[in-house]
Amino acid sequence: MADYVLALDQGTTSSRAILFDREGRAVGKEQREFPQIYPQPGHVEHNPEELWGSQLQVIRDLLRRARVAPERIASLGITNQRETVVLWERETGRPVRNAIVWQSRISTEICERLERDGVEPLLREKTGLLIDPYFSATKLTWAFEQDSELKRRAERGEILFGTVDSYLIWKLTGGRVHATDISNASRTLLFDIHQQQWSPELLDLFGVPEAILPKVVDSSGLIGETDPQWFGKPIPIAGVAGDQQAATFGQICFEPGMAKNTYGTGCFMLMNIGHEPRLSSNGLLTTVGWRINGETTYCLEGAIFIAGAAIQWLRDGLEMLAHAGDSEQLAASVNSSDGVYFVPAFVGLGAPYWDPHARGLMVGLTRGTTKAHVARAALESIAYQTRDVLDAMRLDSQIELSSLRVDGGATANNLLMQFQADILNTAVHRPVIQETTALGAAYLAGLGVGFWETRDEIARKWTLDQEFSPDMDEQKRSSLYHDWQRAVERSRHWLEE
């Protein structure tokens, strides 16, 4: 009888393995960082062998330290950094080049070309995304334009492509399964989210040979088994989702209108919009959340580039703080930011503005401004940006949120969480378990083999740590938010005089 589900979380800076028991408790955890490769400004790569090597190592370490034999693991789930492109040889499994990481801006020129060609409406309609180097397709175009021999080999069917989930599945199954789950496929710009298949028209547009593509599978259900060479005995692979979708699942946002926001380096908010893919009119992406037993759940997604990173910048750039957590005490030493607004548009603005030419600013400074006001304004900027995205979601979905579920490092900050509730006028719910991304992958994998029977059974495990209720009068809320919007306007288009 199996007692555990194993979740792999292959992130941007580290690979993690976490063991969950039947109650959904994390009973063991291992993590290992791997090198970031920066071949030129704006370009980021990972060595696929290092992704795989670190992932395999943390699983082995975890099983050894927790003294758990593979037969006690019901199934394995994978969640991963999304959009990152891996290319490897079908025959040998050898990567043919480094992985092109989601952060890489290497295909900016290709994107500009596509915009000039006017294909954005077609891409939006088919994929729910927009033209940006962030998504996989233009990274592939770039790799093939760089290396025509690679393109020829791909056309001959000698090369395989996958996002990181796909590469891990291929490695884990000893090269027997070349698959990706639909949530990851929906981030490539090659996948038609209505037809739920790779789009021949888009493959043609991006110059991607069909022969390299993985098979698209459900996010939950048996996908393959790990090769016995890795852990002695086979373990079923039965759940896969991109990191933000997995977190949404781990936060039990199973009903339309439920939403979660993850507060890390940036913020990622996803709202379940049900079984129909509705396109945003307000600067959000439409993406596949998950597909289970052939039933697809879609989400609206808003990405904020700089959130917790603004606090990191106070710490490392301004050297104002020793630890990110100190921001709370410092901010609490004043009653308000006293009219100071901080727009952390360090790399432009993401959703809902999509302005690559915006840059950061601080405005409303007076002779009385202290570092406490600055710290408070930085924390508040995280909450205001979240309101920008949530307002867009309210408009797109016509749904009033009853509460927002939150996770990620910066949710430890109670002042931020209270201000978030105040400025949204919505309750903020922080669960006990913060490992929601890995937990989501575990839930998908556990459901996939009947370790857990139903989604209701899983939903009951979600436990509230703390609720933050709105406690600000409407006039104050709207005047604060109004001034935030004025500050954002001043940061926009800064680089395009």
* Separation between Cα atoms, residue 213 and residue 163, nearest integer Å: 10
CB of 209 to ligand ADP, least distance (A): 34
The region of 107-115, 178-186, 229-237, 307-315 touching ligand ADP under the rule CB under 6 A is 307-315
Cα 317 to Cα 158, 309, 310: the distances in Å are 47, 11, 10
Choice between 216 and 410, CB closer to ligand ADP: 410
Task: Pick one of 87, 168, 309, 389: the residue that binds ligand ADP (CB under 6 A).
Answer: 309
Q: How many residues bind ligand ADP (CB under 6 A)?
A: 15
Choice between 62 and 410, CB closer to ligand ADP: 410
Choice between 15 and 413, CB closer to ligand ADP: 413
The answer to whether 143 and 153 are in contact (CB under 8 A) is no
CB of 207 to ligand ADP, least distance (A): 33
The answer to whether 351 and 390 are in contact (CB under 8 A) is no
Task: Pick one of 31, 47, 282, 312: the residue that binds ligand ADP (CB under 6 A).
Answer: 312
Q: Is 440 in the site for ligand ADP (CB under 6 A)?
A: no
Q: Is 308 in the site for ligand ADP (CB under 6 A)?
A: yes
* Separation between Cα atoms, residue 18 and residue 2, nearest integer Å: 16
* Separation between Cα atoms, residue 94 and residue 315, nearest integer Å: 41
Phi then psi dihedrals of residue 341, to 5 deg? -120, 140
Q: Is 169 in the site for ligand ADP (CB under 6 A)?
A: no
Q: Is 26 in the site for ligand ADP (CB under 6 A)?
A: no
CB of 322 to ligand ADP, least distance (A): 12
* Separation between Cα atoms, residue 305 and residue 187, nearest integer Å: 17
Residue facing ligand ADP at closest CB distance: 409
Nearest to 407 by CA among 431, 385, 383, 438: 431
CB of 408 to ligand ADP, least distance (A): 4
Q: Is 447 in the site for ligand ADP (CB under 6 A)?
A: no
CB of 410 to ligand ADP, least distance (A): 4
* Separation between Cα atoms, residue 140 and residue 136, nearest integer Å: 7
Residue 41 neighbours by CB under 8 Å, 6+ apart: none
**Paired tokens of 176:** 């027997």
Going by DSSP bridges, is the β-strand pair 179-181/215-217 parallel, antiparallel, or unpaired?
parallel
x-or-dash pattern for ligand ADP, window 249-288, by CB under 6 A? ---------------xx-----------------------
At residue 9, the 3 state secondary structure works out as: strand
Choice between 259 and 292, CB closer to ligand ADP: 259
Name beta bridge partners: 37.
45
Any idea which residue has 């729910």 for tokens? 128
Task: Pick one of 410, 438, 449, 480: the residue that binds ligand ADP (CB under 6 A).
Answer: 410
Site for ligand ADP in 314-343 (CB under 6 A): 324-325, 327-328
* Separation between Cα atoms, residue 284 and residue 351, nearest integer Å: 6
First to last CA, the chain: 66
Amino acid at 309: A
Choice between 291 and 429, CB closer to ligand ADP: 429
Choice between 181 and 435, CB closer to ligand ADP: 435
* Separation between Cα atoms, residue 319 and residue 61, nearest integer Å: 37
Choice between 74 and 267, CB closer to ligand ADP: 267
Choice between 264 and 364, CB closer to ligand ADP: 264
Q: Is 491 in the site for ligand ADP (CB under 6 A)?
A: no
**Where do contacts with ligand ADP occur on this chain (CB under 6 A)?**
264-265, 308-309, 311-312, 324-325, 327-328, 408-410, 412-413
